Structure 1
């Protein structure tokens, strides 16, 4: 069990460092700004294609693929002969640092073309960006309490900002893919009308980007991606045409393929496909060059690309020039265009922003349509309605022994007045009631930069409101002998009457589309900051993507109820710290519940228990077969 008790001297050193930073924050701020200017100068000193390529190569080495995941699990003869460079190179920072470098690089033109950095130069840029990130995190931690706020407001603000600076991704690839396709498919006609392509075209084009980069890397995985491109080209052109060209011109089919795919072409050996080593810096202009194959892909590449110098907004306002949380274009335009060539430096970056990209296309085409049809509840196919339906589906997978109803109405007396109110989802099993609210609200850029009033208001609209609505429905059920709910099924109005005689357990659950991570996990902080009423705290708050993991892995209703009972009990303890729901699930799978009595001066940190779950989704996500699902141990 990951139980830590911090030595008093460490606590005092940390407290001293915070106090010192607070004593002269202006000086600290000036120092950070100077360090940022140093990073800008280092990046602008060279051809930025190669700078970003150098950082991009680090990300490739740190990214799971079928090949490096196979090697990681390989146990047969010859394991000792696997080269270190063939294994995944763990790097928790590179994805964030590359994104930061892309922001800086695209803020100004690429004025030093053909000046190629050395590996030492690239490493120096990496270290400089890392230093800035660490110190901005610490600078935010040492900030004074927000005006009119308290220590819990400070915790809330810094937690959101640090999450934005340091964390990338809200869900696993397979779940994001599933939700994306289902959310945007109803709007394909709209996209087709305005842009000439639909969400499926966007998805397929973005999904292809990483493969285009991998296909030029000189390892077995790169070779498979290159061969995939070859077979696709042969299918597209046709064997007969290829043979006729060979007969007429004498060009080998590989030469024809290379001419059609110049990013793979070796000018010195036209009958070979060139593959590059990731330490060969001079090859990065080829490795990260991606070429659209169709008119639709070209249109999408154009929509997804920006140029060096176009992202000047990242330098605004001047006081916070090039701070990581500044406004930027690259989240919506993850490709960089230079001399009519497109470059894809950050693997998974475009995919990670695919929701934002597609939503922005809809919004840019018609703001009214975006607000009234894509969002909201007036359109049955809206994103918000989809999230509710998807949540119901996940609970039906998770607890097939229960019956789930949605969009229910019931009558209450509030402030002496009769009124009808709603409940998103109600689940009923033999002995348990599940009261479920769904909230589609998201944090915007200002919230993520720490605008405390707007942040707290949005959290009240999501976390507090969902918890309140669950509390209200539970109160109605418990205070009425025969609570009834009206709902529509197959176009017919029906009434559900709850028979409470067999009910032994009630669970309140609020599902959010936003992944609030450690914010929703630490409800006591939200209560003390005034975001959440203490009356509503016994609600399990979970994101849709985390719920999908539970639906995949939990084996039975008995198991789920056992988890929920222990999980909700954590809200009332002072000796537990955690920041990830899936860590708690892994903790449960390892049979660490129930917990014993609280111990004074001992803090239990529930961390790294999700590793087995992470490995499962990573390895199945890259296509590895026969990977066992994580589950609760029987010991």
Structure 2
């Protein structure tokens, strides 16, 4: 019932708040913390006494000092333990057989017994090893340290009820340094960058005048700019537009991507999941936060989508001038909601929680993703067509007949592994599915690249080398709908991709043998999609090749009654692996004239089965 569904959402939020992975990778926290707060340097200096760059540099110097001490002291205590045990053996108080065990025991005793000296620092020591002035270091410690027993006044009940303790407000996320007897300790040093990203937000919004007049605008604008920057990793810069407007002046969306008849309407929301929402204290709070972070942006996206659909042409205004979009030529419109805050499992499949929160109607959902996850996706996805295919598969996650629990990085890993398909037989009778562990290759890549400074190979979707060549060649064409052709090829699983490549190779080989025209065609399951390939020698006449490909594809599409068809062509006298790609998409209608042409011109032959 409804109560059970609401309880499930609360449990989901509670579990997410304890999730080990965290909201992002460490290097992202450092980068975003710097970039988002650096634009407020003047306010930081006046109100906190340091800039975000100062805070990050001081913290890095503390980490470096800790590492130096740990390594130096470890070696020092090993030497001391060796000397001490040597004396014991000489004095007959220990035997040679006991040497190794004694050296380990004595070394550990002294090393860990002296941990307060190794892991603590004074103000003077901080000034010395950080290189910053006394004033800056004092202000840094004043803002970021706490005495034992410190409590935030907004959370007076912290650590009173042991059953609720895992979800109590943790003051280390506000002040990660502990002060005691004029010494300073950092209990969990890995928290620093996460703290810096979040804690200063509350300092800024507490200054209501600054936040409302300057701060909030900078904060939101940065998220939009960063989103556009990430999307430019995938799409040509000339196809990504920041803050486009409707014809007449009102903003259309935060970021717009126009790529080969495919449109991404992107809305960005800096709304954070409130603490009480994060720990699952109240389902209404969760609903309100999701409404502001995702639903409102989705509504704005729907208005923009409808504008494209209902206006012919759709006129939009961008910094570079005016653009007219032929609405009849649009292949797909994707609605993307980007959040600055992390909403883990709550937004990776909104259909999981919608029965309880009731925000979305008609089973329509956006692709909701955090900025951090968008950064990972755009770092690893290799091309516009693959990104569009991934977007299609991500939106299909919302349409599964069962709940799916997974974060974005696991979904991306599953996409690389098997294409993110849940329509297969193995998932047929499921009520719910949890994905975990599919991010291992991605985690390893991110760690080696961003933490170790290596140049590891990116995790990739599995595909035969020649298949990748076809995708690359098709995406390099100047023709329209090339992306639709590539996206449909991505629909093939690995085995079918191999069969496709082999069929193309055989067809090419026949043309090389007799210099004649050869072809193959195949139809996918349920006649939803068909492919055809023609090889012949046109001596570089691509218009003639295009005509042959178009005629053959049109006739094959008609005969097979497919909804969509991809036609490919190759000139044996050229240097490309494929020279022409066309995409046909329209409902089948009976046409006696085309039927007669097909009957007269299509040679009888066996349809090649490469489908899955």
Long gaps (5+) in structure 1? 1-144, 224-274, 413-418
- Please say if 1:434 is aligned against 2:267: no
- Find the structure with the greater CA-based Rg: 2
Mapping of residues 205-220 of structure 1, within 5 Å: 205-218=58-71
1:593 deviates by 4.1
Deviation digits for residues 114-142 of structure 1, max 9, x if unmatched?
Answer: xxxxxxxxxxxxxxxxxxxxxxxxxxxxx
Long gaps (5+) in structure 2? 76-105, 465-612
Mapping of residues 129-528 of structure 1, within 5 Å: 150-167=3-20, 169-218=22-71, 280-290=111-121, 291-293=125-127, 294=132, 295=134, 296-311=136-151, 316=157, 320=161, 323-363=165-205, 366-375=207-216, 377=217, 382-400=218-236, 403-410=239-246, 420=250, 422-449=252-279, 450-489=281-320, 494-528=321-355
Alpha-carbon separation, structure 1, partners of 2:180 and 2:385: 57
Cα contact 2:268–2:337 (8 A) shared by 1 = yes
Q: What is the DSSP-based 3-state SS (H/G/I as helix, E as strand, rest coil) of the residue aligned with 1:442?
A: coil
| TM-score scaled by length of structure 2 | 0.63
Aligned length: 421
Alpha-carbon separation, structure 2, partners of 1:192 and 1:529: 45
Alpha-carbon separation, structure 2, partners of 1:633 and 1:577: 23
Mapping of residues 97-136 of structure 1, within 5 Å: none
Q: CA 1:582–1:502 in structure 2 vs 1: closer, same or farther (change >3 Å)?
A: same
Q: Which moved more, 1:461-470 or 1:580-589?
A: 461-470
Aligned counterpart, 2:462 = 633
Cα contact 1:512–1:541 (8 A) shared by 2 = yes
Alpha-carbon separation, structure 2, partners of 1:386 and 1:593: 31
Alpha-carbon separation, structure 1, partners of 2:286 and 2:181: 42
- Please say if 1:541 is aligned against 2:368: yes
1:315 deviates by 6.1
1:432 deviates by 0.9
What is the root-mean-square deviation in Å for CA atoms of aligned residues? 2.9
Alpha-carbon separation, structure 1, partners of 2:181 and 2:107: 22
Cα contact 2:277–2:286 (8 A) shared by 1 = yes
1:402 deviates by 6.2
Q: What is the DSSP-based 3-state SS (H/G/I as helix, E as strand, rest coil) of the residue aligned with 2:40?
A: helix
From 391, 394, 407, the counterpart of 1:567: 394
Alpha-carbon separation, structure 1, partners of 2:201 and 2:109: 35
Alpha-carbon separation, structure 2, partners of 1:601 and 1:350: 41
Alpha-carbon separation, structure 1, partners of 2:70 and 2:30: 26
Mapping of residues 552-591 of structure 1, within 5 Å: 552-575=379-402, 577-591=404-418
Q: What is the DSSP-based 3-state SS (H/G/I as helix, E as strand, rest coil) of the residue aligned with 2:437?
A: coil
Q: CA 1:330–1:583 in structure 2 vs 1: closer, same or farther (change >3 Å)?
A: same
Alpha-carbon separation, structure 1, partners of 2:37 and 2:120: 29
Alpha-carbon separation, structure 1, partners of 2:245 and 2:114: 63
Cα contact 1:405–1:487 (8 A) shared by 2 = yes
1:278 deviates by 9.2
Q: What is the DSSP-based 3-state SS (H/G/I as helix, E as strand, rest coil) of the residue aligned with 1:485?
A: strand
